[in-house]
Structure 1
Amino acid sequence: MASNTFTITAAPGTDIWRKPPTTDVFNAPTALPSPSSTNTTLRTTGPLTTFRSARLSFNFTPTAQYDQAGLLLSFRRRGTTTTTPPAKWIKTGVELYNTLPRLSTVACDNWADWSVADLHPATTKAGQEVGWTTVLVEKDKDGNGTGMWVYRLASNAETGEEEKVPLREICWVFGLEELDEWEVEVSAMAARPEKGVTEGLVAEFRGLEVAWAE
């Protein structure tokens, strides 16, 4: 069920990133739409085995390297407090890298892996709004097994219909040991890893939807 717009302000020095040998940062702010602005049936946390998909739209103006906003999936074993950083996570959205906003997906099992793709090639640069962008993370099963696919949702120029532009397949999620013991939490996130700036990064979000198996 789609929600109204809500915002996150990320202070300088915030990030979600894990890189050997010792970097393990999970201090970026997350948020959900307020209960008054969304249907009360929106459920954002549940057993990983019942997760089907999550989608979110967002817009922001990046100015500093690694400014980012998007969708976050946090994986924790059942019984772990939500105040503890998740053991594993996936984030996907838009991130400013080398002067251009780019579609960005990071999947963290033991350590984080990062992939980027063009957003609006050669048109949008630092200091400009990225425009409303929608991402989707969806459970997928084929003849080779079960995984997660990450998509950007875009309007087909000819038909006007929504189409899924594939960004990345993540295969470790449903291969976790004791899969029944894992839960997934869905939220919006924003981060400003650069510490040398003085202002926070403001990102707008809307249309959070999460689907679960019945």
Structure 2
Amino acid sequence: MSSAAPGFIHINQPSPPSTSSTPFDPAAFTLTAPSKTDIHASPVPAPRYIFTAPAVLGAPARPLAAFTRARVSFAYTPALQYDHAGLALLLGASSSDADGRPGQVGRHSAWVKAGLEAKDGAVWLSVVTKTAGGWCDWSLGALPDAEGAGAGLGREVAVTIELERAKNALLVHHVRQRGGADGAEGEEEGDEHKTLIRKVPWVFLDAEDRVVAEGDEGAAWVGAFAARPDPEGRAGEGGGLEVRFWNLEIAGR
């Protein structure tokens, strides 16, 4: 894990997208995901808990109860099955950890990731959730016609994704500017349209009911990630997925 600018950390990145002479800027940055990187949990063929995806997360971990909204825009050109990127909300972090190690096995046993993902030659709006003690629940939705519906591999696609609290639920929105290209870089925020692509009803339940690991202190990490699972090993040596992000926002109360 590496430090970023105050308020952010980088994880799973041998070469973080910032240096002392070029401070990390959440308004514009790039993540490159090597082959065999993911955020995933699977019961077969044997239980696996994977958190190898490069990410930039707001730091330190903050009380989940304080979270209100997170948003990011990004663009990528998927080339392989399951190439994906977006926002991740990791539950079960301890805000008192001095070294803060998001993604450790045995930690963040509940999480939500949302963004774009390549599946069977097309690009989809994708949401994956995992409850403590459970496995991944994956959903896909089509992009609107004007924003890349049916886009195949090898074509750049841009999108804006938002996570928003609504009482006990987490709402995942696809955000578009009316009359403008989806996720257009540098576009001024104006008259926008939000489409709900997933409601996750358990995220903000009270501690006695919320589905998190025993010992959880009610804190969470949230930020942007990129992943190239590459299950068939087609990327070759050094074959990374580059994702351009801009306007990463994390809001709380």
* TM-score scaled by length of structure 2: 0.71
Q: Does 1:75 align with 2:97?
A: no
Q: Does 1:124 align with 2:131?
A: no
Q: What amino acid sits opposite 2:235 in the alignment? A: V
Distance in 2 of aligned mates of 1:45 and 1:204: 24
Shift, 1:174, TM fit: 1.6
Of structures 1 and 2, the one scoring higher in RCO (CA 8 A, sep 6+) is: 1
Percent of aligned pairs sharing the same letter:
36
Number of equivalent positions: 197
Shift, 1:207, TM fit: 0.6
Determine the structure 1 residue equivalent to 2:252: 212
* TM-score scaled by length of structure 1: 0.84
Pairing partner for 1:28 from 50, 53, 61: 53
More strand, by proportion: 1
Shift, 1:23, TM fit: 2.8
Distance in 2 of aligned mates of 1:197 and 1:43: 32
Q: Does 1:14 align with 2:37?
A: yes
Distance in 2 of aligned mates of 1:183 and 1:48: 5
Determine the structure 2 residue equivalent to 1:90: 112
**Which runs of 5 or more structure 2 residues have no equivalent in the other structure?**
1-24, 181-189, 211-215
Pairing partner for 1:166 from 196, 202, 214: 196
**Contact 1:44/1:186 (CA < 8 Å) preserved in 2?**
no
Shift, 1:108, TM fit: 0.8
* Runs of 4+ with >4 A deviation: 120-123
Q: What amino acid sits opposite 1:197 in the alignment? A: A
Pairing partner for 1:113 from 129, 133, 137: 137
**Contact 1:71/1:91 (CA < 8 Å) preserved in 2?**
yes
Over residues 27-66 of structure 1, what are the superposed CA-to-partner deviations in whole Å (9 max), with x where a residue is unaligned?
A: 111125xxxxxxxxx7673100111010011101001000
Structure 1 residues 123, 48: CA separation in 2 closer, same or farther (over 3 Å shift)?
same
RMSD value, Cα: 2.2
Determine the structure 1 residue equivalent to 2:17: none
Structure 1 residues 206, 148: CA separation in 2 closer, same or farther (over 3 Å shift)?
same
Determine the structure 2 residue equivalent to 1:148: 170
Structure 1 residues 147, 29: CA separation in 2 closer, same or farther (over 3 Å shift)?
same
More displaced stretch, 103-112 vs 121-130: 121-130
1:196-211 alignment runs, 5 A limit: 196-198=234-236, 199-211=239-251
Distance in 2 of aligned mates of 1:181 and 1:68: 30
**Which runs of 5 or more structure 1 residues have no equivalent in the other structure?**
33-41
Shift, 1:186, TM fit: 1.1
**Contact 2:56/2:223 (CA < 8 Å) preserved in 1?**
yes
More displaced stretch, 202-211 vs 120-129: 120-129
More displaced stretch, 85-94 vs 164-173: 85-94
- Indicate the SS of the match to 2:194: strand
Q: What amino acid sits opposite 1:82 in the alignment? A: R
